[in-house]
Amino acid sequence: MTFKSFEITPQVIDEHGFTPEEYERVLKALGRTPNITELGIFSVMWSEHCSYKSSRIHLKKLPTNAPWVICGPGENAGVIDIGDGWAAIFKMESHNHPSYIEPYQGAATGVGGILRDVFTMGARPIANMNALRFGDVDHPKMRHLIAGVVSGIGGYGNCVGVPTVGGEVNFHSSYNGNILVNAMTVGLARTDKIFYSAAAGIGNPVVYVGSKTGRDGIHGATMASAAFTEDSDAKRPTVQVGDPFTEKLLIEACLELMASDAIVAIQDMGAAGLTSSSVEMASKGGVGIELDLDQVPCRESGMVPYEMMLSESQERMLMILKPGREDFARTIFHKWGLDFAIIGHITDTECLVLKFGGKTVCDIPLAPIGDDAPLYNRPYVATPKREPLEIIEEPNDYGQALVKLMGSPDMASRRWIWEQYDHMVMADTIARPGGDAAIVRVHGTQKALAMSTDCTPRYCFADPYEGGKQAVAEVWRNITAVGALPLAITDCMNFGNPQRPDIMGQFVGCIEGMAAACTALDFPVVSGNVSLYNETNGTGILPTPAIGGVGLLENYSIMATLPFKAAAESIILIGETNGHLGQSLYLREILGREDGPPPPVDLVAERRNGDCVRELIKNKYVSAVHDVSDGGLIAALCDMAMASGIGCSIDQFLHTVLFGEDQARYIVTTSKPEAVLNSAEVAGVVAAVIGTTGGNTIKVEKVLNVSLVDIKASHNAFFPKLMNG
Amino acid sequence: MKAAVIVFPGSNCDRDMAAALEKVTGVKPMMVWHQDTELPDIDLIALPGGFSYGDYLRSGAMAAQSSIMRAVKLKADAGVRVLAVCNGFQIATEVGLLPGALMRNAGLKFVCRDVGLRVENARTGFTSGYTKNQTISIPVAHHDGNYFADAATLDALEHSGQVVFRYTDNPNGSARDIAGIINAAGNVLGMMPHPERLIEPELGGIDGLPLFESLLGKLH
């Protein structure tokens, strides 16, 4: 079958993911039957990934503004003002499905894609983070997936030379058939050198730079390739292959060109490659765009327009240049050994026109692609509220329970992972992985950015609204715990099938909870990504709205870390403790139960307590700070003790207090307890001295006394045992 | 002190190295592009860490064929000091400035962490700021840091004091725990750990600082 005679049958329409109604919209938008290239373009632009057709209505509920927000959602990444002419640019994005199919390349290209989203706006990437979710540790595929994902993230980031400074990992059986790989990049730019994607200037050249286009990652590749070529190597992999060395060259070349005034607009070719970049750039600018596909650098011969437009080959960018600056730009890209091709120009037609072999192979009005895109208010049912739990039993042996908890999959040391990431390259990492938030300096200044990624999916599953609140609040708390002022977040919304009302209910609940927390904490959303249909054989993943937050330290000489600093200091617990054990790790890991409601988040207390802790750090009243989250108070104390080698001794408490996961809490240590308690009282914050640092055990009066050595052994054993054992 | 940092397209510790040199010497080093063919009069050449040309082939193998390395080799042969760190060390062995080779880590994984080093030779122009047998902590970050040479070469290195740094807790399987070696003439130091990453307390310590101060003291 040749390209020309390709027939648009109901089967072809179905294979492109259109419902009959959606195809009617295509016909209406065009006023005729599309050819296969045009059908492919509509297909990817109206895909869930590009159009947000199921999520858009609800995403609008998220607050996106604050005086420090320079650019919110809608561009390649979010931009915030961090003062003195500096901007932080950041975003988190999912690469879930590819990572399950081919973990190394899936994760690697996830990192590559998010790096491009950030440097395309003019920022030099300064830090990578990631949020990973794996299935049961004894699932037969899981070791392979963990090893591949971690080495893929490392392989890409290490070569590009951007430090991977932190992240989070959870394990749960709901991810057995659908792991989550969410990658985040944070970059820095000058506020007067931020680049946007809206095309402008009729006649301006459209320039393609980076790697050549191949047949990898083509949407519907099986169908298309088989139909077009009918040869044996037609079934190309749908997972792209990353080339971090080329990405490094692309970063340097783009930043070098960006230092000039030659660029009008720029966007990376991410999902849906040349299609989404050209369509979005022209649409945003309210102009038309004409491309001569014969000029597209191709990796192999015989590629047809359909393949070129839908290829997701990596490490490519599309730019609109000022007229006359082509040679200047070409010199830079050739210096870095990259392809540079003028493939078209901006027109006033407001249409996407593609030429190939001297013929017009596509002519689509751009407005309908955006304006007529499907938009669904899918039916949803709210997740039923759970009854509070009855009395929950104590552990048989507190000491054993603690040792087991600290070595459990969600609590154990992540050192095995982050030692495979170069977390120090660029020599600006001043808080390495393992703390509440990673901290990276703004090179050559006293400023630093604090960043954290968080989400507690089991909370979101039990109560999406409270879970959504908690995810945002925990990021805010982690950034606060190092002394930084939380400024904004990016969200990576990983959910199951939105056509199921219960799943859609999870999505809506999480969004509304997040919105409440963002509003209460002045913590707007500036970028994000939605990944739906994360399910296998009808089982959805736990709802996982992964949040990545960025905060600012004006002067990094005033920051806090979590290790105890000295013996004989007072340990003060900040925040109210009710002993909430529903959905706690204690319940799951020690009692084998996943039930009850998650801890509620009092956003007023959250803000009050966090603002108080930041003041305590600023006034240098406290020597160590750690937020209280998974595993509760006793787990937080273990973290602080293990990181320092200094033990502690606290008052007698019940298991509900020791393991309860009440929110909005911090542990601080101090040699000035009165000053801390006074400050807390003035701020209206609950605070109490609960013990003292010192010794080489974790001791709870009359309850437990476990050596740090034993806790550490359990904490450090999990990953090496799983991966090497 | 006049220093030059060689920049390959995939170098990624070039800025870190330049920042460290500037911090210690007060002078910005010159950044030399890999396609250049000549080097001016200088006192020190730094081969920084990174992935020179992607290192999809053997690490440093392609860089060893670059035009700038011919110039570096000429300068080294003439006695100019060369500090070769991480990927720089790999390149230095590939180009023959130093004996041996850096193989894939024994654990087959990239490893990034602070490692303990014992200073075996404090009588070099790079290490006079340390004392013999002093233990220092410097980060490593590499996939291919497993030093190998045949027994005769290793014996010769040991015998002539060319083993400069040894791991106290070998992270990569290197023969005889070797972390850094110097050439027979004493002007080319190769090491896998990154001294340029540990020159400020904020970065976790200053154990890398004496190395740069040693260079400065000798060259002042």
- Mark which residues 381-420 of A lie under 8 Å from B by CB: 418-420
Residue B79 touches chain A, beta carbons under 8 Å = no
- Please give the helix or strand (H or E) that residue A321 lies within, else none: strand A316-321
Residue B196 touches chain A, beta carbons under 8 Å = yes
Token pair belonging to A278:
């050209």
CA–CA distance, A125 with A108 (Å, rounded to integer): 16
CA–CA distance, A458 with A456 (Å, rounded to integer): 6
Q: What average pLDDT score do residues A582-591 get?
A: 97
Cross-chain CB nearest to A427 (options B10, B19, B143): B19
User: For the segment A550-567, what is each residue's pLDDT rounded down to a tens digit?
Assistant: 999 999 999 999 999 999
pLDDT for residue A220: 42
Task: Say if the Cβ atoms of A245 and B111 lie within 8 Å.
Answer: no
pLDDT for residue A70: 98
B143 carries an active-site annotation: no
pLDDT for residue A356: 97
Structurally, chain B folds into a number of domains equal to: 1
User: For the segment A133-191, what is each residue's pLDDT rounded down to a tens digit?
Assistant: 999 999 999 999 999 999 999 999 999 999 999 999 999 999 999 999 999 999 999 99
B112 carries an active-site annotation: no
CB A438 within 8 A of CB A432: yes
Average pLDDT, chain A: 94
> Is residue B192 very low, low, confident or very high in pLDDT (cuts 50, 70, 90)?
very high
pLDDT for residue A20: 93
Which chain B residues have a beta carbon less than 8 Å from that of A420?
A: 109-112
Q: What average pLDDT score do residues A18-35 get?
A: 93
Contacts of A708 (CB under 8 A, 6+ apart): A641, A642, A645, A647, A696, A697, A698
CB atoms within 10 A of CB A412: 22
Token pair belonging to A652:
């007698």
Token pair belonging to A150:
């971690």
Residue with tokens 């006023």: A31
Chain A residue whose CA is closest to B53: A245
Which chain A residues have a beta carbon less than 8 Å from that of B17?
A: none
pLDDT for residue A374: 92
Which chain A residues have a beta carbon less than 8 Å from that of B109?
A: 151, 420
Q: What average pLDDT score do residues A500-516 get?
A: 98
CB A525 within 8 A of CB A490: yes
The percentage of chain A sitting over the pLDDT mark of 90, rounded to a whole number, equals: 90
CA–CA distance, A597 with A509 (Å, rounded to integer): 14
CB B131 within 8 A of CB B191: no
pLDDT for residue A538: 83
pLDDT for residue A238: 65
DSSP 8-state code for residue A701: T
Task: Say if the Cβ atoms of B109 and A244 lie within 8 Å.
Answer: no
pLDDT for residue A724: 87
User: For the segment B166-176, what is each residue's pLDDT rounded down to a tens digit?
Assistant: 999 999 999 99
Which chain A residues have a beta carbon less than 8 Å from that of B9?
A: 245, 248-249, 252, 336-337
Cross-chain CB nearest to B12 (options A246, A425, A432): A425
Residue B70 belongs to domain spanning: 3-219
CB pairs under 8 A between A and B: 82
CB atoms within 10 A of CB A622: 28
CA distances from A260 to A254, A330, A346 (A): 10, 13, 21
CATH number at residue B214: 3.40.50.880
Task: Say if the Cβ atoms of B54 and A430 lie within 8 Å.
Answer: no
Q: What average pLDDT score do residues B112-118 get?
A: 98
Which chain A residues have a beta carbon less than 8 Å from that of B15?
A: 426-427
For the entire predicted model, the pTM comes to: 0.96
pLDDT for residue B218: 54
Q: What average pLDDT score do residues A436-457 get?
A: 97
Task: Say if the Cβ atoms of A425 and B13 lie within 8 Å.
Answer: yes
Q: Strand pairing partners for A92?
A: A184
Task: Say if the Cβ atoms of A158 and B54 lie within 8 Å.
Answer: no
Min mean pLDDT across A41-55, A108-122, A655-669 is at A41-55
pLDDT for residue A627: 98
User: For the segment A182-196, what is each residue's pLDDT rounded down to a tens digit?
Assistant: 999 999 999 999 999
pLDDT for residue A15: 87
Token pair belonging to B193:
């750990």
Q: Which amino acid is at A536?
A: T
Tell me how many helices (H) and strands (E) chain A has: 25, 28
Cross-chain CB nearest to A151 (options B13, B109, B197): B109
> Is residue A215 very low, low, confident or very high in pLDDT (cuts 50, 70, 90)?
confident
Residue with tokens 């970050």: B141
Q: Which amino acid is at A717?
A: A
Task: Say if the Cβ atoms of A159 and B194 lie within 8 Å.
Answer: no
Catalytic residue among A16, A58, A95, A219: A95
- Three-state SS for A6? coil
Interface test with B, best of A336, A413, A414, A422 (most B CBs within 10 A): A422
pLDDT for residue A536: 85
Q: Is B38 exposed, middle or buried (0-12, 13-18, 19+ CB in 10 A)?
A: exposed
pLDDT for residue A218: 75
CB A558 within 8 A of CB A622: no
CA–CA distance, A692 with A690 (Å, rounded to integer): 7
CA distances from A252 to A248, A339, B96 (A): 6, 14, 30
Alpha carbon of B113: minimum distance to chain A alpha carbons (Å)? 6
Nearest CA to A586 among A371, A406, A466?
A406
Residue with tokens 């400024």: A487
Nearest CA to A665 among A630, A694, A711?
A630
Which chain A residues have a beta carbon less than 8 Å from that of B16?
A: 425-427
Task: Say if the Cβ atoms of A419 and B112 lie within 8 Å.
Answer: yes
Q: What average pLDDT score do residues A651-662 get?
A: 97
User: For the segment B34-88, what is each residue's pLDDT rounded down to a tens digit?
Assistant: 999 999 999 999 999 999 999 998 999 999 999 999 999 999 999 999 999 999 9
Task: Say if the Cβ atoms of A161 and B13 lie within 8 Å.
Answer: yes
Contacts of B108 (CB under 8 A, 6+ apart): none
Residue A558 touches chain B, beta carbons under 8 Å = no
Task: Say if the Cβ atoms of A159 and B10 lie within 8 Å.
Answer: yes
A546 in the Ramachandran plot: left (φ > 0), alpha (ψ -120 to 50) or beta? beta
In this predicted structure, the answer to whether residue A224 has a pLDDT above a threshold of 50 is no
Task: Say if the Cβ atoms of B141 and A424 lie within 8 Å.
Answer: yes
Min mean pLDDT across A269-273, A296-300, A353-357, A422-426 is at A269-273
CA–CA distance, A125 with A12 (Å, rounded to integer): 41
CB atoms within 10 A of CB B209: 18
In this predicted structure, the answer to whether residue A416 has a pLDDT above a threshold of 70 is yes
Interface test with B, best of A424, A432, A561 (most B CBs within 10 A): A424
DSSP 8-state code for residue B200: B
> Is residue A232 very low, low, confident or very high in pLDDT (cuts 50, 70, 90)?
very low
pLDDT for residue B220: 43
Q: What average pLDDT score do residues A431-455 get?
A: 96
CB A218 within 8 A of CB A229: no
ipTM reported for the complex, 2 dp: 0.96
Nearest CA to A166 among A478, A526, A609, A471?
A478
> Is residue A2 very low, low, confident or very high in pLDDT (cuts 50, 70, 90)?
very low
Task: Say if the Cβ atoms of B110 and A425 lie within 8 Å.
Answer: no
Size (chain B), residues? 220
